[in-house]
Amino acid sequence: MIKIDALPAFSDNYIWLLQDPEQRRCAVVDPGDAAPVEAWLAAHPDWQLSDILITHHHFDHVGGIERLKALSGARVLGPAKEQIPGRDQALGEGDQVEVLGQVFSVIEVPGHTLGHIAYHQAQQHWLFCGDTLFAAGCGRLFEGSPEQMHHSLSRLAALADQTQVFCTHEYTLSNLRFAIAVEPQNRQIQQRLEQVTAWREAGRISLPSTLALERATNPFLRSAETEVQRQIDNRNGPMTRTNEQVFAALRAWKDKF
């Protein structure tokens, strides 16, 4: 049984740590800083870091790779379409890779960056999605277009309800404040905002989420909803918009929220 924990990094990043207690082997996802992983390994000297999974090239996701690889000899997996330091295996759409005895499928999700990938374990219902899908939000469009990001999010939203969303930032509270502005009458958003507020005040992280919860409370997965479209009409003027255009308007609104 694989155990998954979050190692905090920087001000709001999480490095996901996958642990196989039987083999005393572990893997990490997006180690932007080597120090939290080094500290964990130092506290568990009989464990071996076997794999480093990378979703995209931003420094807060790749900055610790080379130190960790030098320390452990871990295999580095990352997107084929981006420059990833120390990468041993380049991955693209449809590739499968075995990590700690678990087979992950690779999904290309351009938008935040052009080469961004996500790792999906269908049997365990795990999704490591970097900065594409956040709890109650989505990543900024640094390289891709709104159309690309909408398509990427739609692909992730089509996964099973119970899929656990392991994103890499603690943005949930601010994302929910935006979500309630978009859908002020959505009771599930109200309840989630109250819950996450209490969690954060208690020092508890808000992740992982689930796709069922995201589809109910994440405005960026809800551009087809009448209330969301009505809010965009109220802000930007009434017109007939595609779901992609509603998404683009939501992203532009959130950028200035």
Count Cβ atoms within 10 A of the Cβ of residue 147 and give its class: 0-12 exposed, 13-18 middle, 19 or more buried: middle
Question: How close are the terminal C-alpha atoms of the chain, in Å?
Answer: 41
Residue at token pair 């694989």: 2
Catalytic site residues? 56, 58, 60-61, 112, 131, 169
Specify whether the CB–CB gap between 187 and 195 falls below 8 A.
no
Specify whether the CB–CB gap between 142 and 103 falls below 8 A.
no
Count, residues in the chain: 257
Report phi then psi at 191, rounded to 5: -65, -40
Task: Give the burial string for 5-30 (b: 16+ CB within 10 Å, else e).
Answer: ebbebeeebbbbbbbbeeeebbbbbb
Specify whether the CB–CB gap between 53 and 119 falls below 8 A.
yes
